[in-house]
Amino acid sequence: MIVCLTGMHRSGTSLMGNFLHHCGISMGKELIGAARGNRFGHFEDAEFVSFHSELLNRRRCHMYTPARNLEFTEQEARQALALVEQRRTEFKHWGWKDPRTTLFLHSWQRILPEARYILLYRSPYSVIDSLLRRATDRRLKLAPWIAASAWIRYNEEILSFYKAHKSHTLLININDFNRDHVSSVRLLEDWLGVKLPVPYTTIYHPSELKSKPTDRKRLTVRLIGKVYGERMDEIYQTLESLATIGGS
């Protein structure tokens, strides 16, 4: 079984990657470690991150300001398959987590139609606030509205992919997953067809995933919302209406 786990940055993908990895679904041998804003680790396979980053570099764009209509070239598709084949020989159940995957989902599905795709989303205002509080990207410090345009772009890609490939895709609001994690884990086990033996409470720390913007950044988030709020709300409500776990 192959699991592709992705979603907009700061949407709980590290948390879910952590959980799956400790439940026996390998997320990579060389994982990117802890850093500011991710003190338990990213649970990102370094080779997949390097691959996606190089694709963006070739197109002269950035993960927060990606070009439109991103697709693998034939050579890039062969590179992607090489990454897959290396892991197929070693692991029965494995996957990868990288938010940048969201930008190339349709290309991945063409070469890996059998994979299971777990797509996470989170309130745009919480994501924007989290990105600004982490303050690790110079672009966002200089132009904080980029966080909103990135949220829109990533979640547009998620909706496009989900609508085209529902049978192999699980769409999850991470806050709703956490809110009722006992039922959520049971549903995830049924969908994956494997037991997830590690208690979710050993991985999930509520303080690590805030549900509301902090007062310190609320004004900035509110100002961004005045410009981008209508489109963000429209996308968020559509996600909520379609999600397997979400909509509360």
Q: What is the CATH number of the domain that holds 114?
A: 3.40.50.300
Beta-carbon contacts of residue 1 (< 8 Å; ≥ 6 apart): 25, 92, 93, 94, 116, 192, 193, 194
Residue 107 lies in a domain: yes
Domain presence at residue 221 = yes
Q: SS3 of 91, please?
A: coil
Is residue 248 a part of any domain in this protein? no
User: Encoding tokens for residue 52?
Assistant: 């996606």
Q: Which domain holds residue 23?
A: 2-242
* 72 band by pLDDT with thresholds 50, 70 and 90: very high
Phi and psi of 106, rounded to 5°? -65, -35
Structural domain count, the chain:
1
- pLDDT tens digit string along 145-201? 999 999 999 999 999 999 999 999 999 999 999 999 999 999 999 999 999 999 999
The residue with tokens 């895709």 is 169
| 215 CB-near residues (< 8 Å, 6+ apart) | none
Q: How sure is the predictor about 213, in pLDDT bands with cuts at 50, 70 and 90?
A: low
What's the distance, Cα to Cα, between the start and end of the chain in Å?
Answer: 30
pLDDT tens digits, 46-71? 999 999 999 999 999 999 999 999 99
pLDDT of residue 203 exceeding 60, the answer is yes
81-130: pLDDT as tens digits: 999 999 999 999 999 999 999 999 999 999 999 999 999 999 999 999 99
Beta bridge partners of 170: 118
Taking the CB of residue 34, how many other CB atoms lie within 10 A of it? Answer: 11
247 located within any domain: no
User: For the chain, how are helix, strand and coil distributed in percent, rounded to 5?
Assistant: 55, 10, 30
Is 102 among the domain residues? yes
> CA–CA separation, 28 vs 91, rounded Å?
10
Q: What is the percent of the chain where pLDDT is above 90?
A: 83
Helix pair 46-58, 74-88: axis angle to 10 deg:
180
Q: Quick check: is 119 in a domain?
A: yes
Q: Is residue 39 situated within a structural domain?
A: yes
Supply the angle between the helices 146-164 and 124-134 in degrees, to the nearest 10.
130
pLDDT value for 222: 87
**Is 174 among the domain residues?**
yes
Q: Is the pTM of this model over 0.85?
A: yes
